Amino acid sequence: MDRTPIEQGLDTALHLGAAEAEIVFVRTVNLDIEVAQSEVETLLRAEAIGAGVRVITPDKRMGFAYTSVLDGGLEKSVAAACENARLNEPDEFNGLPDETAVSEDDWTEEDFAAIPVARKIDACRMLEKRVIEADARIAHVQRVNYGEGHIEWTIAHSHGLFRTYRVAHASCSVVAAAAQPGCDAEMGWEFDFAYRFDALRWDWVADRCAEHATRCLGGKPCSSGRMPVVLDPYVATEFLGVVGSSFMANNVLKGKSLFANRVGDTVASPLVTIVDQNNLPGAINRAPFDAEGVSAARKAVIDDGVLRGYLHNAYTARKMSVTPTANAARGGSFRSTPEVGASNAYLVPGDMPREALLEAAGNGLYITEAMGVHTADPISGDFSFGVAGLAIEHGKLGAPVRGVTLAGNIKDLLTDIAALGNDLRFFGEYGAPSVLISSLMIAGE
């Protein structure tokens, strides 16, 4: 990225009366391929490019504007941001972070565009074929997807910061249906992502998808009662996503957090450590800095069961008189101002394989699917929703279970974590291993 237009834009904002100015430039290039019944249903390459301008006036008014037309558009956006600032109310906590780093990081490991599209399509077809051949009960493959994305992110502001990073990754996924006489069809899904094309585990994805689609065929309700529960990493990650909203300082300030005013308190089992780390190796959202240019950091929000703090951007940190934690996030890319968000947040895994968790559970339920985890109350922590999975019988996986309800409170769930698996997986910005809960209420037969 040529620095000159950005530096000129910052100078123009200051000349127009801004006390502080920030420009974010983002370029993304994505390829999406979808295959069904060996035919290419989707082949789409999309490129997005643009810049966002944020200014702070001397009396702490904030203005923002963005453009996807860089030829003359940046200059107009600078003027628009300054004009918008005059229409907003002053807020003493508005301001840019003090970070002044200058850096350029290229974490791209492979030029995916150099790989022939035909090779990517063939890989999708082979994935579809392997799923179908994995088990006679696979009725059909709904779709196979391959995706790749290249991101270039530049941020600069008037305190002297100018930072750029580039990264690229690829992914593959598949959805399939399984059926057998006398029971309802079941769906299975699996995915993988990597920084190199040859690192994608196509066969593993196919085999796991077939397993997921067939394992719950013929599921019936189990008996009601309190019992040990083992959460599959995907389900555990869904719970962590709900818990994660309570770590965001903006929600704490709004009174929408389970953990408001509880820093220093024991809020979970001593086995629980939850970390957020921007530059975590192998994570899909890996980056050297956050959406305000603050350097990546490892933050333990819960450490050995004790709440240590919240996640912040510059605004919430200033309002709560703490240091930013590199958790500014722009969900709309260059089209939005920074909010607070997770980068790569995860429940630190233990050292037990899943089989050991099942053995420790004895008799209970292994949950592989939860319908409506997002409906859990983020303030009270109460939840109740349908789940499916497999019975745990004498420490081994048993009969499929469906049509039951899991109920409880997230605060109790965190306290009752009895063991953690060694199989950490990320699903977006959150990740978790398998988790053994000592006791949860299941409403079945």
DSSP string, 306-364: EE---B--HHHHHHTTS---S-EE-TTGGGS--EE--SSEEEPP-SB-HHHHHHHH-SE
Residue 384 is predicted with a pLDDT of: 94
Q: In this structure, are 167 and 183 located in the same domain?
A: yes
* Residue 149 domain flag: yes
Residue 313 is predicted with a pLDDT of: 98
* Residue 426 domain flag: yes
Q: In this structure, are 34 and 162 located in the same domain?
A: yes
- CATH number of domain containing 201: 3.30.2290.10
Q: In this structure, are 222 and 167 located in the same domain?
A: no
Where is the domain boundary, 318, 347, 376?
347
Cα distance between residue 403 and residue 220, in whole Å: 6
Q: In this structure, are 44 and 8 located in the same domain?
A: yes
Q: Is 298 helix (H, G, I), strand (E, B) or coil?
A: strand
- Which residue, 342, 262, 238, is CA-closest to 299? 342
Cα distance between residue 244 and residue 311, in whole Å: 10
* Residue 82 domain flag: yes
* Residue 246 domain flag: no
Show Cβ contacts of residue 119 under 8 Å, excluding neighbours closer than 6 positions: none
> Which domain range does residue 424 map to?
218-239+349-443
End-to-end alpha carbon distance in the chain: 62
Q: Which residues of 78-93 are buried (b: 16+ CB within 10 A; e: fewer)?
A: bebbbebbeeeeeeee
Q: In this structure, are 16 and 88 located in the same domain?
A: yes
Q: In this structure, are 229 and 283 located in the same domain?
A: no
Residue 1 is predicted with a pLDDT of: 64
* Residue 253 domain flag: no
Where is the domain boundary, 322, 347, 372?
347
The CB density around residue 118, as the number of other CB atoms within 10 Å, is 8
* Residue 391 domain flag: yes
Q: In this structure, are 202 and 273 located in the same domain?
A: no
Say if residue 53 is exposed, middle or buried (CB neighbours under 10 Å; 0-12, 13-18, 19+): buried
Cα distance between residue 173 and residue 374, in whole Å: 23
Q: In this structure, are 94 and 24 located in the same domain?
A: yes
Q: In this structure, are 49 and 198 located in the same domain?
A: yes
Q: In this structure, are 235 and 277 located in the same domain?
A: no
Residue 444 is predicted with a pLDDT of: 87
* Rounded alpha-carbon distances, angstroms, from residue 53 to 64, 67, 75, 194, 249: 6, 9, 10, 32, 24
* Residue 249 domain flag: no
* Rounded alpha-carbon distances, angstroms, from residue 395 to 132, 356, 357, 422: 31, 8, 8, 18
Cα distance between residue 123 and residue 127, in whole Å: 6
The total number of structural domains in the chain stands at 3
Regarding beta strands 306-307 and 328-329, do their DSSP bridges make them parallel or antiparallel, or are they unpaired?
Answer: unpaired
Q: In this structure, are 80 and 177 located in the same domain?
A: yes
- Which residue, 129, 113, 55, is CA-closest to 86? 55
Q: In this structure, are 434 and 320 located in the same domain?
A: no
Write out the chain's pLDDT in tens, 445 residues: 678 999 999 999 999 999 999 999 999 999 999 999 999 999 999 999 999 999 999 999 999 999 998 788 899 999 999 999 999 999 999 999 999 999 999 999 999 999 999 999 999 999 999 999 999 999 999 999 999 999 999 999 999 999 999 999 999 999 999 999 988 899 999 999 999 999 999 999 999 999 999 998 999 999 999 999 999 999 999 999 999 999 999 999 999 999 999 999 999 999 999 999 999 999 989 999 999 999 999 999 999 999 999 999 999 999 999 999 999 999 878 999 999 999 999 999 999 999 999 999 999 999 999 998 888 888 889 999 999 999 999 999 999 999 999 999 999 999 999 999 999 999 999 999 999 999 999 998 7
Residue 112 is predicted with a pLDDT of: 97
Where is the domain boundary, 315, 347, 379?
347
* Residue 16 domain flag: yes
C-alpha dihedral (73, 79, 80, 82), degrees to nearest 10: 150
